[in-house]
Amino acid sequence: MDRVGLWINHSKPEAITLAGQITHWFAERGWNVYTDWEKITAQGVRFLISLGGDGTLLEASREAAPYAIPVLGVNLGRLGFLCEIERNEIFDALDKITNHDYSIQERLMLTATVNDADQTFDVLNDVVFLREPSSAMVTLQANLTGETSVSYPADGLIVSTPTGSTAYALSAGGPIMSPNVEAILLTPLAAHSLSARPMVISDQENIEISLVRGEECIVSFDGYHRTAIKYGEKVVIKRASINALLIRLGKRSFPHVVREKLKDRWHE
């Protein structure tokens, strides 16, 4: 018997309602549906359906990556850069997937280690360094593969994947990167130097970010965990050993997604 998992944003009533409809749809076809994460990982589901928005898909994909579970994102949110389909397309999409008419796209992830600690964080979008609102500007030093490379006197710094280039980095003035590009993006926040520019680097680089000016800096990992580093402390970031797996139905190319989601900024 085939198995599928649901990752539900319980803060959205529409997601809960849709989860019930999807469960009924699969039950009629003899599938088992799981919503408990321990059962999802133990039962070996064929794929996972994320019901929410980009944030929900981000969370689901990050958790599913170590188990090599592909994820279908259903957009019940506002922007939906990452989600493959909208709510009204779900059952047509499920027909395709159950008939093996889909592809899986691998998305680069990052691993971040704070102060050489044993605990690490895997992210699909970004690692964000941000000064406290009450503190002055900070300076973050970025060393690439052990060499002093560039310093950023700024309000903060975003280290992002190509997936994350359409998230916080985009609003900070960074470039949009195709998810097929294997690279890492460094984007300063409100830089206090004209020479502190966004930079695209190889995904093979080991990036060491140190706080070299300022007392403290907040660091967040995909927004799901936050910590603080003090003056002289560092975070080491490199490509993760795992990739996120997203289900694609071949309906939307990346240029099409960019045009649709940012159409208010385009001129016909």
Q: Structural domain boundaries of the chain?
A: 3-102+249-262, 110-240
Neighbours of 141 (CB within 10 A): 17
Q: How confident is the model at residue 162 (pLDDT cuts 50, 70, 90)?
A: very high
* CA 147 from centre of chain: 28
Predicted pLDDT at 263: 63
**CATH class, range 3-102+249-262:** alpha beta
Is the CATH number of domain 110-240 1.10.3720.10? no
DSSP class of residue 93 equals: H
pLDDT in tens, 164-193: 999 899 889 999 999 999 999 999 998 887
Predicted pLDDT at 266: 46
Q: Is 54 annotated as a binding residue?
A: yes
In the structure encoding, which two tokens stand for residue 100, read together? 């093996």
E runs forming strands in the chain: 3-8, 32-34, 47-52, 71-75, 85-86, 103-114, 120-123, 126-131, 138-144, 147-154, 156-160, 183-189, 199-202, 207-213, 216-221, 225-230, 234-248
**What's the whole-number mean pLDDT along residues 16-25?**
97
Whether residue 54 lies in the annotated active site: yes
Neighbours of 267 (CB within 10 A): 3
Q: Is the predicted pLDDT of residue 42 greater than 90, yes or no?
A: yes
Predicted pLDDT at 268: 45
Distances (CA, A) of 263 to 233, 255, 268: 42, 11, 9
Pick the closest to residue 174 from 191, 161, 187 (CA basis).
187
To the nearest whole number, what is the mean pLDDT of the chain? 91
Q: How confident is the model at residue 79 (pLDDT cuts 50, 70, 90)?
A: low
Residues 185 and 248: their CA atoms lie apart, in Å, by: 24
Q: Is 125 annotated as a binding residue?
A: yes
Neighbours of 58 (CB within 10 A): 25
Q: Is the predicted pLDDT of residue 11 greater than 50, yes or no?
A: yes
Predicted pLDDT at 119: 77
Q: Is 36 annotated as a binding residue?
A: no
Q: Which of 2, 54, 101, 122 is catalytic?
A: 54
